[in-house]
Structure formats: C-alpha cells, structure tokens
Amino acid sequence: MTTLIVGFCPCVSMTARLANSFNIQCKSSLVALPIKKKRTCWSSLQAQEQSQAPINVSVDEERDEYEHNAQQPENGTLKYVKDGEDATSTSQNSELTATTMTKEVMNSIKLLKNAAKTRKVATLEVLSALRVVRNAKLNAQNFLHTLGGDESPGRTWMLIFTAQGRSGKGFYFPITAVQRFDASAMRIENGIYLGPIGCLTFEGRFSWKKRILAFIFESLNLKFGPLGPIKINLAKEEDKNRIPVTKDPFFIWFYVDEEIAVAQGRGGGTALWCRCTRVT
C-alpha cells in the first residue's frame, strides 16, 4: 500500500501510473465510468484572481481545534460583510469567520467552482483560493447534510484538485476518483475508475463530529474488465463495533455547498471536490 493522498485512497499512486500508461484523464464536465455509468460535474461560475500564497497546513492543530474546543460555534446565520468591516459580536466570544463570509472568501469560492468546471484555472490561483477558504473557518452546521444527502445511497463527489500540505504545490487529479458519502447510513465509498479497464473501490463507515469526518474501511472491491467484482474483507476484529475516531483516517471540512467541497486529510493535504451525478 502506498501513502494516502489527502486521506483519499490507498493505491492511488499505483493506479495513477497505470492510468497514465493508457493516457486516461479525468474530465470535470463528463466522465465515462464502467458498467454504463458516467458522472457529470455540476460546477459553473467565473474565475477570480487570487494571490499566490501557498497553503500552510498543520493538520494536528486543525484537528485539535475542532475536536476539543467546545466553544467553537457550529450554528448561526451566514452573512456577508465588507472586507475590513468589524463584524465581531460583543455578546459572545466567537470568531469573525465562523458565521460570516467576506468578499475575499466569496471570490475564492467562485474561482474554485470555475476550476472544478474547466480545470484551466492556474495552479497557484487554486492554491491561494483553497488557503482563503481553509482559513475562513466557515459555519459547518449544514456540511454533513449537503455532503451526504438525507437518504441512501447518498451523494457522490469527484476529486478535482489536491494541494500537498506545506510544500505549496498542487495539481489537478489526473484520473477519475470519486467518493460517495451517505449521511443517512453513515457510509463512505472511495473509488478509482479506469473506464473499461476496471475500478477499485473501498467501502466503510464514518462518524461526524463538528466538521471532522473520521472513517474506517471495511472492504475492498476490485473489477478488471468483464471480471469481478472481487470483494476483499478489510475489517479488523477490534474495529468491528467501534466508532471511527481521529486516530483513523479523517477529513476536516472547510466548505461544502451543492457544487463543490473543500477538506483537509489526515496527511495534511487539502483537496477540492466537485459534486457529480451517476447516470445509468
């Protein structure tokens, strides 16, 4: 097993090399998947220019902040404030960005939506927009419902872009990688899809606390061309009845709406997803 990329999926590096050898690329507008399935990205909006500052990631600090700080606000009405305006409340000691959205954040979200649709926004601009959204600490009250829907099988999201922790580097993900979150059943599925060649999917369960989604994979499914799927049990005896916690793989979600999602994985990388739909 190779290193996790933003906590997404083991064997991604191996699969990426295989995909590149067949010149397979992920396209955000329309992606063909095996078994007569294809996914369509829903993102659309104009790009905005951003500064070129890299993402400075400390995943342990982020996790500890959201997991242990009971005073972190998780409700309230999202509102717009002008840049430089003092929107702090005198009645409560809460962060400005917990319940407000500045013009800079709004422009960054628009840029990320354009990047998800076109994959043509410059890498440094995407990195800067991810940094702005990450640092905003926006209200996460509705993130889980938006991410996983209110009924099974949940909602699916295509991986578009990954930023590599403190390195200040990032790239558009070159192959079709899709995650499914089912908020009703608290289930997760990670998949790498290589068209007629086959697919690799991991399935398991997750827990949610504030904006942290921790998960445990229970099975691996392999499909090669017309063969399979072959199911491999990954569940450990000691993990069967316990709730996933932050010693397991996890994501910290910074933004989720009906089109895109931004989160940081346990390894410190930040990723951008685009909501997609399965068509049979």
Question: Could you tell me if residue 88 is inside a domain?
Answer: no
- Length of the chain (residues): 280
Query: Which letter, b or e, does each residue of 3-35 get, where b requires 16 or more Cβ atoms within 10 Å of its Cβ?
Result: ebbbbbbbebeebbebbeeeebebebeebebbe
Element (H, E) at 212: strand 212-224
Query: How many domains are there within the chain?
Result: 1
* 4 domain-assigned: no
Q: Find the CATH number of the domain harbouring 157.
A: 2.40.128.280
Q: In which domain, by residue range, is 103 found?
A: 12-69+96-279
Residue 187 lies in a domain: yes
Look at residue 63 and tell me if it is in a domain: yes
User: Quick check: is 76 in a domain?
Assistant: no
What digits encode the pLDDT tens for the residues 55-109?
A: 444 555 555 555 544 333 333 333 333 333 332 222 232 233 344 689 999 999 9
Residue 154 forms part of a structural domain: yes
Per-chain mean pLDDT for the chain: 74
How is residue 269 written in tokens?
């990388």
Cα 226 versus chain centre, distance: 30
Q: What pairs with residue 179 in β-bridges?
A: 157, 190
* 201 in any annotated domain: yes
Q: Please check whether residue 89 lies inside any domain of the structure.
A: no
Q: Specify the 3-state DSSP secondary structure of 188.
A: strand
Whether residue 48 contacts residue 108, with contact meaning beta carbons closer than 8 Å, is answered with: yes
User: pLDDT tens per residue, the chain (280 residues)?
Assistant: 333 333 444 344 333 333 333 232 333 333 333 333 444 454 433 333 333 444 444 555 555 555 544 333 333 333 333 333 332 222 232 233 344 689 999 999 999 999 999 999 999 999 999 999 999 999 999 999 999 999 999 999 999 999 987 778 999 999 999 999 999 999 999 999 999 999 999 999 999 999 999 999 999 999 999 887 899 999 998 888 899 999 999 999 999 999 999 999 998 999 999 999 763 3
